[in-house]
Structure 1
Amino acid sequence: MFAAATAATLGAVGVASADNPVGNLGTVTGNKLTGLDTDAPTWTTAAGCSPDSDGYNLYIHGPGGFNGGLVATPVTDVGFSTAAGFGVVQGQTFKDIALDNSTTIVPGKYTIKVNCVDQFAAETKGSFTRDIYFTSATAWQSNNPADPVPTTTALSVAPASPVTQGANVTLTATVSPASATGTVQFKDGAGNLGSPVTVVNGVATLSTTALAAGNRSLTAAFTGSSALVGNSTSAAVNYQVNAPVVTQTSTALAVTPSGSVQAFTPVTLSATVAPASAAGTVQFYDGANTLGNPVAVAGGSATLNTSTLAVGAHNFTARFTPANAALFAPSASVAVALDVTPFAGVSASENITTTVVAGELLISVANQNVVLPSPVMAADGSLLTTAGSLNPIKVVDTRAGNPGWNVSGQVSDFSNGAASINGANLGWTPKLVDKAAVQNITVGAQVNPANAIAPGASAPAGLGLASSRTLATASALGGNGTANLSADLALNVPTSTVAGTYSALLTLTAI
């Protein structure tokens, strides 16, 4: 009872403590890494208190009103231990501590201090401490905002080893947190692989074919973009690169033209190297003498052109030299013979051509309107008649082959919109106005008009232009040139036809 009463009394008045002293017994850890001023965290000591103590209290030191340290938990022995670390419940929130002491929380560093005390003697025997940082009046965190954000870097390599030297290997670095900005330098042992690679969303990647044979030690070193982003290096990845097995090659040679050529003839030497993936050069030889410079192999082929071969017998070969002797073996073709004979001169020729154009057949009428006089009554009073002539019709034939032509005509019924006259009542007598001297033209037969038949009636055979009738014909080999045609017209009109102006369309066709 005496100890309990003493503990209560001491808890009320507190135990004297220097301003923000460094803990000499170790550190405390909190049950959270970040929080608010309304929090009252639980803190755990790193070890038990010294044997000469029998209780503890909790103080918070910081800037402003917290400078001398303010009580957060009065002296108590609840959960106290000298044998192992123990939990300390912060008795008040940061905000309540400030209110009770008529002060405010300002941003800055605060020290959580758990003091081990001798309750009877009211003496502090040692302390555990922990720094926290208020970044505003209401929010705190356990890490110093001025310290770099810690990062970790992990490295993966694909494909899985072992691989053959020269294989394409991809190194992928994953940086945490993904928001960390900076670059990754990939390394093979102490040597750099390429240039630093920018980290994007926590990832940086490098592909290389330059790994040497052997057991490689690959790492990824992250460098932050600012002092507030911490650097980190991945664990080493042991990666086996095996020396390549030398691939045998073969070289074939073709010479074009083959067999025998005259001096100064262009000659092409074509070498084919297998496999086509073999990189290197081909040196062409004429006997023991080189021809030109080595030619790079592209897609398994190399070519040399020459027109300066001396007269005589030649034996050509092609020798392949690999770019990487560790990957491919050299090879040489069998000899290809070519006999170069003295120059016997050259000849030339010219092809003379001309093109006969197809030409065309044209038909045209300068004046498309033909007006016949008003019909008059026939002497016997059976019908009305009128007559006239077609305007000149020009036919021009410029066609190749001079196949001849035929011009025909066909008329529609005459109409004034309400009434009509049968087109078969129109007849003609074809005429040749003029022609070229070389043309052979025959005018068509006279076509008599029907005898004033009614609209819609069929004309007797051979009468009228309601059916297509020949105007003129030019014979084969006699049509080229220009001819002008015409025809005299005769129209019979039924006496029952009502008064008015009637029009018909005469269609002239040249074929």
Structure 2
Amino acid sequence: MSMSVTRRRRAAAMLSVATLLGGMLVGLVGTPAYAADLGTVSLSQTSGRVTDSPMFGTGITSVPCPTGFGEEAALRIGPAETGPFTNLTPSLGGGGYDKAPVTADPNRSFQLALGSVPANGRWWVVVECFSLLEGRHPNRFVTPIEVTGDQWRVVSTAVATTTSLAASPQNSAVEGATVTLTAAVDPPTATGSIQFQSDGSPIGAPVALAGGSATLAVADLAVGKRSLVAIYQPTGNFAGSISPAVTYQINSATGVSTVTRLAVSPEGPQDPGTPITLTATVEPAEAEGVVQFRDGTANLGIELNVTGGTATTTVNTTQSGLLASGAHSFSAIFTPADAAAFNGSQSEAVPYEITGEGAAVTTTELTVSPAGPRPQGSSVTLTARVRPEAAIGTIRFEDGSTPLGDPVQLQNGVASISTTTIPVGTRSLKAVYVSGDTTRFFGSESAPQSYVITAPVPAGDALTVTDENGVELGPNPTLKRGQQVNLVARGFDGNETVSTRLDDEPQEPVSAENGVVRATMVVADDASAGAHRLVLTGAQHEVTFDFVVAEAADPDDNGDGDDNGGGKGGGGKLPTTGTNLVTMIGAGLILLSGGAGVLVATRRRPQLVPPIWPDQQP
């Protein structure tokens, strides 16, 4: 979120401590206090992968920020207790965060925010609150999470529960008949109630738990396919839970009865990885609708249309998912398209055995960095991870059906490739694991990932410079002392760190966001007159800003006859000294749109204690 010009100036005036003093840049003030007693952060999900981007959808604090600390807020993550904490989203501006709970939407993954793979153990998701004058509040809103491998989950002090649901009679009933719903909560010592639902709507009032179970008899379920769930509403120190949905068919009293039969080929037992064909036959053949194949209570793929009274699928393949060795129970459930004309039906269960250990089932996951969209020609890295890690073979990276380079050999279950040749457009990227020993490991492929490549950034469009009124300046503008300009530099990789040099002197780095650096520069009151150069350098991209500081005694004279800072004069040899021309506070103390880096001039003002703004880190 952007700050107003007035707020930027006020904040800049307060930041004179973090300036060049005697040619040295004073370091940013640390934040050693990590107290956590403002409240909690409710996350929109309780688990995920550390590479998921965003990490979660939304975080909401339990109460507003403390009074007086609602100027800015930041959603961050870091090691529990000790920190440091890094941003999960650009910091939040606009004020008012002490009036209502803070809502923040992350725009990056946990791993990207950290800059490395998170270690196993306890981490904190935090929201910090800021005052313009006093900086960060010493306490935080905190929700602890636990990382195991590439998974994270919210840690709760409440006792975890699971809820299951059963319906009697099983699978289907005629309209008007009584259906008994029974929910069971584990552990059975859990207290509270169960809210039964049909298709998202409550069925009656909540039913109190007794000995871990609750029962409800209902006779008014609507005709058709219903989705039934039981929601556990806890009391005491128990966590809530929701049962898996139970699909239930209510048949019309006047509908035509149907019969569904299931054939399985080849007959069992079979070795692991043997394709198995399931064929459902529905009578009468004119009954239209869909068939859902199941293994026990687990769906096998999606519902399939019945054509000419039959529906067929093949399971136990790398595409459909390999079935584990052991006993299975296949069935087929027919759901009519017109519940008033035909009734649903379910086949008899067909037991099936898969014997022997056979080859191991594998899974392949793909991560792509930096986050898109990226201009054509950018370096994009694709990383595949195969489990189990002992799997041997190669990874074939693909854009649609087009290979991206040669196959890459797996090393400890990981393979990676970087490419700059992905064409412009919305691409579908995936990783295909090709087993090096099919007797030990089955092949697998990742889910496709959508990635956007935009048109390349022309050299002349890599930098836009405007004055504080938004007027675009020409090349090599002449600037007056005290003038503010805004820079937008494009073409960097994702959220990479960008180094900066002023007249060949290294400065504090800044951070790109989605390939763009946005920064504000103010020319110092005592800046040396003449030509100067600011260079921003990423891993594979560099942007140069040449400008001239006016020599005119008149502080309003910028060389073009007006006062808009848009003069196009300048040039000449770079001076050998540029001391106190600008101060670069990198990933700064002033909030700008997108939370990118900041450039602030040295001002000869009284030194005040600077607030530490929440985009101190990228």
Higher relative contact order (CA 8 A, sep 6+): 2
Q: Which has the larger radius of gyration?
A: 1
TM-score, normalised relative to structure 1: 0.27
- Give the alignment's TM-score, normalised by structure 2: 0.23
